[in-house]
Amino acid sequence: MRALLAALAGLFLIVAPARAAPVDTGHLEAELVARDATVAPGSTAYVALVQKIDKGWHTYWRNPGDSGEPTKIEWTLPAGWKAGDIVWAKPHKLPFGPLTNYGYSDEVILPVRIEVPAGQAAGPVTLKAKASFLVCEQICIPEDADLSITLVVAEGAPKADARWGAKVAGALEAAPKEVGLTAAYQWTGGKLTLAVAGAPLKGADMAGAWFYPHTPAMIDHAKDQTIERGPDGLTLTLPPGYAFEAGQPPATFDGVLTVGDKAYVVTSAQGPPPAGTSGLGPPPAKAAEGGAAGGGSLGLAILAAFLGGLILNLMPCVFPVLSMKAAALAGHAHDRGATRAQGLAYGAGVVATFLALAGVLIALQAAGQAVGWGFQLQSPPVVAALSLLMLAVALNMSGVFELGASLQGAGQGLAGRSGAVGAFFTGALAVVVASPCTAPFMGSALGFTLGQPPLITLAVFLGLALGFAAPFVALAFAPPLLRMLPKPGRWMDVLRKALAFPMYGAVAWLVWVLSQQTDAAGMAAVLAALVLGAFALWLWGLSQTAERGLVSKIVAVILLIGAVALSVLGPKAAAPANSPQASSADLPYEAWSPERLAAVRAEGRPVLVNFTAAWCVSCQVNEKVALSTSEVATALKATNAVYLKGDWTRRDAVIAAELARHGRAGVPLYLVYAPGADQPRVLPQLLTPGLVAQALETAAK
């Protein structure tokens, strides 16, 4: 008899486990599979529910989020057999309009622990289960399946199932686990934080970390979770849910923390945060697609910044200052010592101003402000003051008043070194004027600095400064090129006055930027300040030619102080307009928001997102030459795509956070979302109509 049982068991080893055919419930296929081909009496087996979900549909995690129902399994087992809970796979976010749910798409394997009784006789044993799913796309449909699997009980070590053994084992390995993390939450003053520390988090890339609570009412799932790094872990600031806002906070706050491709079970109670969970700022954002600073390399980021600084000299926002550089070169082209001093002073001004901007940026971010490249132009008083400064430069170049032979000579009396002080401040002004532009390579380089320590940020900004200053400094040390210019003469004064007009153009552009930021009263104040400032500078120029010009100078100074005060105090930020609008080429667009983006993506439509600002010259150039064209309008219509525009003209923390999420510290940023894709395609910072149209057509396929 024993020989017969052994032979039968051997036969079962060949053919087992026996699985019923997958059940098509309508929008997914479900079946039970086993990790092991044989199981021993008294052992633990794992049987997994496999869901192969139709494209565009999804099922839900144990906490479905804002809506939905988790998968359920009801077992029918032989006497003595016991089934444990589902071992849930790591979930992913499922945005749907203003809601965010948690679940699975494509294929998911959900193992279940099965206890085999110690006295189980060898041979086949059939396990039955009824699985229930809520399967959703635009609509949700409850579906279920009656499933079964036959396991073979046999003495000895288990043998892995040839087809499913490795996959079920992999699902168990990848599932969130308790790994000895220490955690605590705090609920004070309406603010909810969760601090987690442990060996797996030391040195981990925490960009995109997310906490999925085990129960639905703990947080507002659709809102962002802010990350603060520490040497031993992280602290998440979470949007509280009903469980916290209703009264007594819960005794425990449990869930799954995802960090990169890892997922950990977290159990916490209210209390002080573990040591080492804060102090290093937010995680550095990953470089945008195609960026030169990819891979988190500081050297590559500095190189990208240097290249971006070089290219920045060719951007339209720097054109007005190019006229000042041209005038300076013309005045000292045949004096090698003077030109070199001018070049070095200009470079010093560029470097000092870039580092000063970096210092202000670091300080504001440390204070919790969501700011990035060009942040100063989001302030109407700064734009107004800058327009007044540009007007003063233009009037000086036009000869209305004099500060030496030119603006570059402003400081001859102080320095006595052929206008070196003037050249220094020309470099400083060039940086201020250049800040509305973002050149290729700059986006990824500046994005690399987000959340980095101050020294790294300063190093990247130094690379940007050196690249920006390099062409003019190199030209100052190139005598053959300088000797090509004519000898000094009357033509220099004519050239200087002609080159004043790009500066007047800069004034007009800044006034237009201001019109996008302030109301009619603010615009009136700034226009009055410009007229008053021009009159004051004319009076100053008049005093320079009069025998007794002291009174004129005093009046001019008083009026100039008044003009500055009026430009700074007059304009106030106007409320943003968020209604759908049309661009200059009647290209329809809607205001970007996370909720609107999620709603449109839930409709399965391609999306073109344009993060822009009125003060961003690169943005405006792209708007005219690429986005506001019939080719792009035709592509939007043909692909049924939606065009969303995020306007960063005024400071907006939500847009700043979204820019940082894509590895950018400023605008422009252009994204194309394909239906069903997890991540958007990031377009270059310089666009063509064909490039945008092709990206939309590819996304729609």
Domain harbouring 689, CATH code: 3.40.30.10
pLDDT at 181: 92
pLDDT value of position 550 = 74
Calculate what percentage of the chain has a pLDDT beyond 90.
24
When pLDDT is averaged across residues 670-691 and rounded to a whole number, the result is: 87
Query: Which tokens belong to 558?
Result: 């008083």
Q: Does 288 map to a domain?
A: no
How many domains does the chain contain in total? 4
* Average pLDDT, rounded, for the chain: 78
Residue finishing a domain among 122, 154, 174: 174
In a domain? residue 524: no
Question: What are the structure tokens assigned to 428, written together?
Answer: 């400083």
369 against 80, higher pLDDT: 80
Distance of CA 121 to the CA centre of its chain: 60
Residue 260, class by beta-carbon neighbours within 10 Å (0-12 exposed, 13-18 middle, 19+ buried)? Answer: exposed
- Look at residue 216 and tell me if it is in a domain: yes
Question: Residues 394-421: what's their mean pLDDT?
Answer: 54
Same domain assignment for residues 315 and 166: no
Per-residue confidence (pLDDT) for residue 436, from 0 to 100: 58
Domain ranges, residue 623: 581-700
The answer to whether residues 120 and 219 belong to one domain is no
Last residue of a domain, one of 174, 206, 221: 174
The answer to whether residue 531 sits within a structural domain is: no
DSSP annotation of 180? -
In single-letter form, the type of residue at position 90 comes to: K
In a domain, 564, yes or no: no
Task: Give 476's pLDDT tier (boundaries 50, 70, 90).
Answer: confident
Helix (H, G, I), strand (E, B) or coil at 408: helix
pLDDT at 569: 78
Residues 323 and 470 in one domain: yes
Q: Are residues 165 and 192 in the same domain?
A: no
pLDDT at 176: 93
Does the pLDDT at position 296 exceed 80? no
pLDDT at 458 over 80: yes
The last residue of one of the domains, among 499, 525, 550, is: 499
Task: Give the pLDDT of residue 623.
Answer: 84
Cis peptide before 440 (omega within 30 of 0): no
User: At residue 301, does pLDDT exceed 90?
Assistant: no
Share of the chain above pLDDT 70, in %: 77
Q: Can you tell me the mean pLDDT for 488-508?
A: 72
Q: Are 599 and 664 in a shared domain?
A: yes
Q: Is 538 a member of any domain?
A: no
227 and 343, same structural domain? no
- What is the C-alpha radius of gyration for the chain, rounded to an integer number of angstroms? 33
Does residue 515 or residue 169 have the better pLDDT?
169
* Residues 400, 542: Cα–Cα separation, whole Å: 8
Please indicate, yes or no, whether residues 449 and 332 belong to a single structural domain of this protein: yes
- Mark 3-31 as b/e (b = at least 16 C-beta within 10 Å): eeeeeebeebeeebbebeebbebebbbbb
Angle subtended at Cα 496 by Cα 424 and Cα 389, rounded to the nearest 5 degrees: 50
Can you tell me which residue has the tokens 């540009």? Answer: 390
pLDDT at residue 294, as a whole number: 39
Higher-scoring residue by pLDDT: 484, 176 = 176
Looking at the fold, whether 337 and 482 belong to one and the same domain comes out as yes
pLDDT of res. 580: 41
| CA–CA distance, 458 with 463 (Å, rounded to integer) | 9
How many angstroms separate the CA atoms of 533 and 380, rounded? 18
Check residues 190 and 489 and name the one with the higher pLDDT: 190
User: Which of 23-32, 598-607, 625-634, 656-665 is predicted with the least confidence, judged by mean pLDDT?
Assistant: 656-665
pLDDT score recorded for residue 242: 82
Question: What CA–CA distance (Å, rounded) separates 151 from 292?
Answer: 54
Same domain, 167 and 192: no
Q: Kindly state the average pLDDT of the residues 408-434.
A: 58
Q: Tell whether the model's pLDDT for residue 105 goes beyond 80.
A: yes
Quickly state the pLDDT bin for 335 (edges 50, 70, 90): low
Q: Are residues 324 and 235 in the same domain?
A: no
Beta strand 642-647 with 588-591 is: parallel
Give the lowest-confidence range in 75-79, 228-232, 356-360: 356-360
pLDDT in tens, 175-204: 999 888 999 999 887 889 999 999 888 878
pLDDT of residue 4: 45
The CATH number for 58's domain is: 2.60.40.10
Lowest mean pLDDT among 25-39, 262-276, 663-677: 663-677
Residue 375 pLDDT greater than 80, yes or no: no
For residue 389, the model assigns a pLDDT of 77
Query: If pLDDT is split at 50, 70 and 90, which confidence band does 10 have?
Result: very low
Supply the CATH number for residue 196's domain.
2.60.40
Cβ atoms 283, 225 nearer than 8 A: no
Region 110-135: mean pLDDT is: 92
Lowest model confidence (mean pLDDT) among 476-490, 492-506, 651-665: 476-490
Q: Report the range of poorest mean pLDDT among 208-212, 379-383, 403-407, 690-694.
A: 403-407
Instruction: Tell me the three state secondary structure of residue 110.
Output: strand
pLDDT tier for residue 137 given thresholds of 50, 70 and 90 = confident
pLDDT given at position 107: 93
In this predicted model, what pLDDT tens digit does every residue of 343-352 receive, in sequence order?
Answer: 788 888 889 8
In a domain, 477, yes or no: yes
34-43, 379-388, 400-409, 619-628, range with greatest mean pLDDT: 34-43
Q: Which two tokens stand for residue 628?
A: 């506001």
More confident residue, 131 or 452: 131
Does 523 have pLDDT greater than 50? yes
CB atoms within 10 A of CB 593: 16
Mean pLDDT of 509-538: 80
Residue 70 within a domain: yes
- In this predicted structure, the answer to whether residue 413 has a pLDDT above a threshold of 60 is no
pLDDT, residue 479, reads 62
Same domain for 149 and 224, yes or no, is: no
Give the residue from 116, 136, 134 showing the smallest Cα distance to 125.
116
CA angle 74, 77, 147 (to 5 degrees): 55
Q: Classify residue 475 as exposed, middle or buried by CB count within 10 Å of its CB (0-12, 13-18, 19+).
A: middle
Whole-angstrom distance, CA of residue 148 vs CA of residue 130: 9
Non-local (6+) Cβ contacts of 611 within 8 A are 592, 645, 646, 648, 655, 658, 659, 664, 667, 668, 669, 670, 671
Whether residue 127 is found in the same domain as residue 197: no
pLDDT number for residue 399: 81
